[in-house]
Amino acid sequence: MKLEEYLQELEKVELLAPEEEKSLWQAFKERGERAARQRLIESYQPLVFKTALPWRTSESIMDIIQEGTVGLIEAAENFDWKRGVAFSLFAVHRIRGRMLNFLQKEGSRDVTCMDAPRADGRAPWELLPDTTPSVAEQAELGFMTRELHRALARLPQKERVVLESVYLKSETIPKIADVLDVSASHIYRLQKSGIRRVRGMLSRFMRF
């Protein structure tokens, strides 16, 4: 699909009302309804494009968007809708992580402007529905981010280094293993144990 065709499809996307989205998550997660899964993924496709805008390269933009869509799908599969956290806040990290990994593998490319107006005078990004988190969602994210950093600071040093490298710096497991001079399997064990500790520390803030 070409970029222009993709943008035309984005114009057709309808955002979900809160109750409709809740119903779709329930149908997908509790009854395994694939149609509900597809509707959710389609409704959040504008978030993928907005996340891709900082890397608006002429040659690879559709590849970046495709990687972001894979991240969106992974986020949908792993999202726990009962916790009450906005999906956009949960998904954007996986979307961006996928894009960064792709760009890291491909290397830097020339950036072209996607703000140039179309025939109707509008820039591509102006066609997208607003998926910006609400003030309440942003406040929740800020609070959880502060608590997450406090939790990371309390971890054993190697677990903290691994989690920060993977989730905050988007570094690869082999690179982290090389820096710490341990095996990749050991990095995975540190990652798993670190996540378990952090979840325990943050469990009192989660809504089930």
pLDDT, one tens digit per residue, over 44-56 is 998 888 888 876 6
Any idea what the CATH number is for the domain that residue 88 is in? 1.10.1740.10
Cβ atoms 71, 98 nearer than 8 A: yes
Cβ atoms 71, 95 nearer than 8 A: yes
Residue of 60, 108, 72, 96 lying closest to 168 (CA atoms): 96
Examine the domain organization and report whether 120 and 199 are in the same domain. Answer: no
Distance CA(190)–CA(153), nearest Å, equals: 15
Examine the domain organization and report whether 175 and 89 are in the same domain. Answer: no
pLDDT band at 135, cuts 50/70/90? Answer: very low
Helix, strand, coil share of the chain (percent; to 5): 70, 0, 25
What is the pLDDT, as a whole number, of residue 36?
A: 93
Examine the domain organization and report whether 126 and 141 are in the same domain. Answer: no
- CA end-to-end span of the chain: 40
The number of domains in the chain is 2
Say which residue, 187 or 117, is predicted with more confidence. 187
Examine the domain organization and report whether 117 and 147 are in the same domain. Answer: no
Task: Report residue 44 as tokens.
Answer: 């959040």
Examine the domain organization and report whether 60 and 95 are in the same domain. Answer: yes
Tens digit of pLDDT for each residue in 170-180?
788 888 999 88
Examine the domain organization and report whether 100 and 141 are in the same domain. Answer: no
Residues 159-183 have a mean pLDDT of: 85
Question: How big is the chain by its Cα radius of gyration, in Å?
Answer: 19
**Average predicted confidence (pLDDT) for the chain:** 78
Bridge partners, 57 (sequence order): 111
Residues 6 or more apart in contact with residue 40 via CB below 8 angstroms: 16, 21, 24, 25, 28, 76, 87
Give the residue numbers spanning the domain of 192: 134-208
Residue of 199, 97, 99 lying closest to 155 (CA atoms): 199
Residues 36-41 have a mean pLDDT of: 93
Examine the domain organization and report whether 147 and 126 are in the same domain. Answer: no
Examine the domain organization and report whether 12 and 99 are in the same domain. Answer: yes
Poorest-confidence range of 65-69, 74-78, 87-91? Answer: 87-91
Cβ atoms 10, 46 nearer than 8 A: yes
Any idea what the CATH number is for the domain that residue 141 is in? 1.10.10.10
Say which residue, 68 or 142, is predicted with more confidence. 68
Examine the domain organization and report whether 68 and 16 are in the same domain. Answer: yes
Distance CA(164)–CA(187), nearest Å, equals: 12
Q: Pick from 130, 155, 175: which residue ends a domain? A: 130
Examine the domain organization and report whether 93 and 159 are in the same domain. Answer: no
Would you say residue 31 has pLDDT above 70?
yes
Q: Pick from 130, 165, 189: which residue ends a domain? A: 130
What is the pLDDT, as a whole number, of residue 136?
A: 47
Residues 193-198 have a mean pLDDT of: 86
Say which residue, 9 or 20, is predicted with more confidence. 20
Q: Pick from 84, 110, 130: which residue ends a domain? A: 130
Examine the domain organization and report whether 165 and 121 are in the same domain. Answer: no
Examine the domain organization and report whether 6 and 62 are in the same domain. Answer: yes
What is the pLDDT, as a whole number, of residue 111?
A: 40
